[in-house]
Amino acid sequence: MEFLQFLIFFIILVVKSVDCGNQFSRDDFPADFVFGSGTSAYQVEGAAAEDGRTPSIWDTFAHSGITHGANGDVACDHYHKYKEDVQLMVDTGLEAYRFSISWSRLIPNGRGLVNPKGLQYYNNLINELISHEIQPHVTLHHSDLPQALEDEYGGWLNRKIVYKFSFEKQHGFLGLNLFAYWFVPFRNTTEDAIATKRANDFYLGWFLNPLVSGEYPITMKKNAGSRMPDFTNLESKQIKGSFDFLGVNFYNTLYVKDNSDSLKKEHRDVDADMAVQLIPMLDNSSTVEFPVTPWGLQGVLEYFKQVYGNPPVYIHENGQRMQRNSTLEDWPRVMSLSGYIEGLLHSLRNGSNVRGYFTWSFLDLFEMLDGYESSYGLYYIDLDDPDLVRHPKLSA
Ligand SMILES: *[C@@H]1O[C@H](CO)[C@@H](O)[C@H](O)[C@H]1NC(C)=O
Ligand SMILES: *[C@@H]1O[C@H](CO)[C@@H](O)[C@H](O)[C@H]1NC(C)=O
Ligand SMILES: *[C@@H]1O[C@H](CO)[C@@H](O)[C@H](O)[C@H]1NC(C)=O
Ligand SMILES: *[C@@H]1O[C@H](CO)[C@@H](O)[C@H](O)[C@H]1NC(C)=O
C-alpha cells in the first residue's frame, strides 16, 4: 500500500492574554482552544518545478489563464522563505499554522516513490514550527490533485483514486474540511424554508450525513435519483463515525430562494438537483469586501450541534477579502476578525464544540479564482519586489 505518514505533535501552549481593546480576550477561551492562520501549498510555496515537484491540476487550471493570467509558479516563495515566515508567525503570536502538503511535491506522479526533497521540505517546515511552539495543522489535500492522477484516473470521480490517497493513521486527529455557508430564506414562505433545508443538505449533508448516519440525505437521493451512488452496507458501516473533527471554512451568509423549476430541466446536475437560487446579502456592493455576519457562523455551529450531534469543529478558514494593493491599514479585516471571534465565543458559551480558529490567510497569496487581484492576508507582499518582503498589516 502506498501511504503518507505524518506525525503531528500537538503542543499545549502557555496561554497568553491578548489585549485588543475588545470586551473579550484570549483568557475567555479555553486554554486548549487554538488560534492560528492558514495557507495552502500551491497558493504560497512557489518553486513549482523545483526539486522534483510535478504539476497538479491547479497548475494546469492557473496556466489556462482563468485567474487573471496569474499563477502560483512563484507565489510567496514560501518554499524558500519558510523559516522567515515561521518567525513572522511567532511575531504575530500565532499558536498554530495550517498548511497543506503538495501531493505532487511529495509523490511526484501521485503514486510510487516518495520524493526525498519534498519530504525534507515538509519535515523542515514541521520541525521549524515545533521548535517555535507553533502547532502544525496539516491539510493532506487542498484542491491540488497530481495532474498525473487526473490523466490516469479522471480524478476524484474514479473510486480507484481512494487507494492512492490512503494513508496510515498514526498520532493526531483526523478530519475533513467543509466549505460552509449559512443560509437564510429569502422570502417568508414555506417554499423558501424548505429550499433552505435543501441547500444545507446539499452543501453539508452530502458529506455529513454519510459520516454521521452512513447514508446520503434523503432529498439528495430523491432529486438526483440513479445518478447518486449508493453505499454498500460495508461502506456505510466503515464511514459512519470515521472522523475526529470537522474543519469549517466560513465566509458568507446567503439568501436562499426556491427554484423548483430547475427539477423540470432535462440536463440535470447538482445545481439543478439542489433547485435553489443563492443570493448574496450585498448583491451589487461596490467593494470586494464581504458583509461581516458572525451570526451566520454561529448558525452553522448551532446547526452542527443540533443536527449532527455537536462534533469537534475547527474553523479552518474565515477572513475578509480586500483589494490586494489597497492598504496596510486593513480596518475591514480587523473588524471582521473581531466580529467573528466574538461570535465564536458566544457559540462556545452556548455549548458548541469548537476547538480552534484559523484566519485565512497568513500571507497575501495566490487566490483560487482571483489570482493576485484580491487578498485576505495578515501580511502584504509587493509582487514587484524581487525579495517579496512581507509587510505586516494592522490585522497582523
Ligand atoms: C411570516 O409569515 C407568517 C405566516 O404567514 C407570519 O405569521 C409572520 O408574521 C411572517 N413573518 C415575517 C417576518 O414577515
Ligand atoms: C442592486 O441590484 C438590485 C437588484 O439586482 C437593483 O434593483 C439595484 O438597482 C442595484 N443597486 C445598485 C446601486 O446598483
Ligand atoms: C443555544 O443553544 C440552545 C440549545 O442548542 C439553542 O436552542 C439556542 O437556540 C442556542 N442559542 C443561540 C443563540 O444559538
Ligand atoms: C499592485 O501594485 C503593483 C505596484 O504598484 C503593480 O505593479 C501591480 O500591478 C498591482 N497589482 C494589482 C493587482 O493591482
Residue type, 73: D
Among 48-52, 75-79, 223-227, 299-303, which stretch is predicted with the lowest mean pLDDT?
223-227
pLDDT band at 287 (very low <50, low <70, confident <90, very high): confident
pLDDT at residue 375 above 90? yes
User: 3-state class of 304 per DSSP?
Assistant: helix
pLDDT digits (tens, 9 = 90+) for 307-348: 999 999 999 999 999 999 889 999 999 999 999 999 999 999
pLDDT at residue 271 above 60? yes
Q: Ligand 3 mean position to 343 CA, how many Å?
A: 13
CA distance 40 to 105: 13
Average pLDDT over the chain, rounded to an integer: 92
Residue type, 321: R
Span 80-90, average pLDDT:
98
Q: Does domain 175-360 have CATH number 3.30.870.10?
A: no
CA distance 158 to 165: 12
Q: Ligand 4 mean position to 15 CA, how many Å?
A: 39
Span 56-60, average pLDDT:
97
pLDDT value of position 365: 97
Opening angle at CA 303, ends 300 and 304, nearest 5? 90
pLDDT digits (tens, 9 = 90+) for 220-270: 999 999 999 899 999 999 999 999 999 999 999 999 999 999 999 988 999
CA distance 58 to 62: 6
Q: How many CB atoms neighbour CB 209 within 10 A?
A: 19
- The dihedrals phi and psi of 162, each to the nearest 5 degrees, come to -55, -40
190, 260 in Cβ contact below 8 A?
no
Residue minimizing CA distance to atom 11 of ligand 3? 350
Span 84-91, average pLDDT:
98
pLDDT digits (tens, 9 = 90+) for 126-165: 999 999 999 999 999 999 999 999 999 999 989 888 887 7
pLDDT value of position 282: 80
CA distance 14 to 18: 13
Among 29-43, 58-72, 94-108, 154-168, which stretch is predicted with the lowest mean pLDDT?
154-168
313, 323 in Cβ contact below 8 A?
no
User: 3-state class of 120 per DSSP?
Assistant: helix
pLDDT value of position 383: 94
Span 24-51, average pLDDT:
97
23 Cβ inside 6 Å of ligand 2: no
pLDDT value of position 12: 26
CA distance 389 to 76: 9
pLDDT value of position 7: 30
pLDDT value of position 8: 33
> Relative to the CA of 324, which ligand 4 atom is closest?
13
Q: 310: which residues sit within 8 A by CB, 6+ positions away?
A: 304, 351, 352, 353
Span 12-32, average pLDDT:
66
**384 is written with which cell numbers?**
514587484
> Relative to the CA of 286, which ligand 2 atom is closest?
13
Scored b (16 or more CB within 10 A) or e, 98-131 reads bbbbbbbbbbbebbeeebeebbebbeebbebbbe
pLDDT value of position 164: 79
pLDDT value of position 169: 59
pLDDT value of position 60: 97
**Strand partners of residue 313:** 246, 354
298 alpha carbon, closest ligand: 3
pLDDT value of position 19: 43
- The dihedrals phi and psi of 248, each to the nearest 5 degrees, come to -125, 130
Q: Ligand 1 mean position to 192 CA, how many Å?
A: 13
The better pLDDT of the pair 170, 327 is held by 327
Q: Ligand 3 mean position to 373 CA, how many Å?
A: 39
Residue minimizing CA distance to atom 5 of ligand 3? 306
Domain boundaries defined on the chain = 37-165, 175-360
pLDDT band at 22 (very low <50, low <70, confident <90, very high): low
Q: Ligand 4 mean position to 380 CA, how many Å?
A: 12
pLDDT at residue 13 above 50? no
Q: Ligand 2 mean position to 245 CA, how many Å?
A: 41
> Relative to the CA of 372, which ligand 4 atom is closest?
13
Please list every protein residue whose CB sits less than 6 Å from any atom of ligand 3.
298, 302, 305-306, 350-351
Share of the chain above pLDDT 90, in %: 83
Span 290-306, average pLDDT:
97
Residue minimizing CA distance to atom 6 of ligand 2? 284
283 Cβ inside 6 Å of ligand 2: yes
* Cis peptide bond prior to 361, omega within 30° of 0: yes
pLDDT at residue 176 above 70? yes
192 alpha carbon, closest ligand: 1
Residue minimizing CA distance to atom 14 of ligand 4? 325
pLDDT band at 1 (very low <50, low <70, confident <90, very high): very low
Q: What is the pTM of this model?
A: 0.90
